[in-house]
Amino acid sequence: MGELLQEVLTRVGSSQPVPSVGAQLGLLAVALLLVVPRPLWRVSRMLVTIVHESGHAVAAVLTGRRLSGIRLHSDTSGLTVSRGRPRGPGMVATLLAGYPAAAVFGVATAAVLGTGRAVAFLWVVLALLALMLLQVRNFYGLLVLLVVGGTLGAATWLLPETYLSWLAHLIAWVMLLAAPRPVVELVATGRHPSSDAGQLARLTAVPERLWQLLFLLVTTAGTVVGAALMLPLAEWYAGWVG
């Protein structure tokens, strides 16, 4: 057991080479294939839903609410239930945190990966999935987290560090590209009183459509910022021209 722990700590403490611009463009292309076509989008959207519900959960805990549980559904939707005041800043912050969570996660991931800590990032993700597993309250959600966590754990343990760096960067690209899509779908289909934006409209004097547009602005900005961190094209172009 001690040797196993030492091996994990060694892996977490190591650094990995950041993929070249060419490799990043290849990973970007793969991420587009995972996000744009509808059949593969269902898989990517479930990953976004996991992060979305995690955003609600973290905001609820940070604002002093009691987290009651998380559900993940087969239609790629989710639900996070917390207890506390039905109105006020805490409830607003909890509802507000869902849609931007994937973009924030993507930007934070891009910043961390720039330091060469891809394996450490993957182990942190595994730890967060384990914590989320304790809060899941339905069988399908439990199954999804076990599959995602088990696959990621096996990859983290078995794959060479170069491939793990690629995997971590691919996850970042998927989050960055996928973050705005659920918001675009929400805006395109009109008003949804039960959505985060609809509930925020009932709690505040701000119309639902403005909340939707705010989500779209934040997620799109996150994609742009994250892409700039992942692809330092200006430096690459200067080096290529020189």
pTM, two decimals, is 0.91
Which pLDDT belongs to residue 7? 59
Query: pLDDT tens digits for 84-97?
Result: 988 899 999 999 99
Distance CA 59, CA 38 (A): 30
Amino acid 3: pLDDT: 62
Cβ–Cβ under 8 Å, residues 53 and 70 = yes
- The per-residue pLDDT for 15 is 74
pLDDT digits (tens, 9 = 90+) for 85-144: 888 999 999 999 999 999 999 999 999 998 888 988 999 999 999 999 999 999 999 999
Low-confidence ranges of the chain (pLDDT < 50): 234, 236-238, 241-242
* Amino acid 234: pLDDT: 47
Query: What pLDDT, on the 0 to 100 scale, is given for residue 237?
Result: 44
pLDDT for the residue numbered 238? 46
Beta-strand pair 78-83/66-72 = antiparallel
